[in-house]
Amino acid sequence: MVYHSSFVDEEGITKACGCPLLPLKSHVKGPAPASDQDATDIVDEAITFFRANVFFRNFDIKSPADKLLIYLTFYINSALKRLEGCRTLAEGTKAIISLGLEKVPVPGESGFPFPGLFILPQSSKEAELFRNYLQQIREETSGRLLGVAYRPNGTPNKWWLAFAKRKFMNIIDQRTV
């Protein structure tokens, strides 16, 4: 059974490209609204559900937040592929920073992993808003992922890095191969 996002209430949530710009517990600058530090956000859900959801080839979308969950699951999978050869937290941090510096494609641009999942931006302003949100959420996810992919002593957590070999929804990120 696929795990779905609990963020189904879209009341007052800004959208870009058909994706809700959900609040984040983040110190990274960006367009995401701030979330309560004690509350669960979409990044927490993506990391929590990743090891179960990565096994599925199909994902039944029940809410727009599920689209973001799909995107983050794919991003976590790509990040783990980058971390796969990194034997220390310092090496992993460098690999994640280089992934974070890459240009983030939006729907309609080459390199966007899910054509058709999100609607095309109606304006360049909407495209830039969505790109900035994805950049912010990717940076936040990367930081939290390092906390689970490596143990407190800086060694790799094999129970997480083993999932780098999985292909989520049979999609391969061309930038990691």
Picking from 132, 127, 164, the residue whose alpha carbon sits closest to that of residue 149 is: 164
CA distances from 173 to 13, 164, 169 (A): 29, 12, 11
Q: What is the pLDDT of residue 76?
A: 93
The residue to which tokens 């367009």 are assigned:
31
Q: Are residues 16 and 133 in contact, defined by beta-carbon separation less than 8 angstroms?
A: yes
- pLDDT tens-digit profile, the chain (177 residues): 677 888 887 678 899 999 999 999 988 899 999 988 888 999 999 999 998 888 877 778 888 999 999 999 989 999 999 999 899 999 999 999 888 888 899 999 988 988 888 999 999 999 999 999 999 999 999 999 999 999 999 999 998 988 887 666 555 554 433
- The DSSP symbol for 15 reads E
Which residues make Cβ contacts (< 8 Å) with residue 78, sequence separation at least 6? 99, 173, 175, 176
Domains and CATH numbers, the chain: 18-25+37-170 (1.10.1760.10)
Q: What is the pLDDT of residue 20?
A: 93
Find the radius of gyration of the CA atoms of the chain. Answer: 15
Q: What is the pLDDT of residue 163?
A: 83
Q: What is the pLDDT of residue 21?
A: 95
Please provide residue 64's backbone torsions phi and psi, each rounded to the nearest 5 degrees.
-60, -25
Q: What is the pLDDT of residue 82?
A: 92
Residue 70 has which token pair?
């799909």
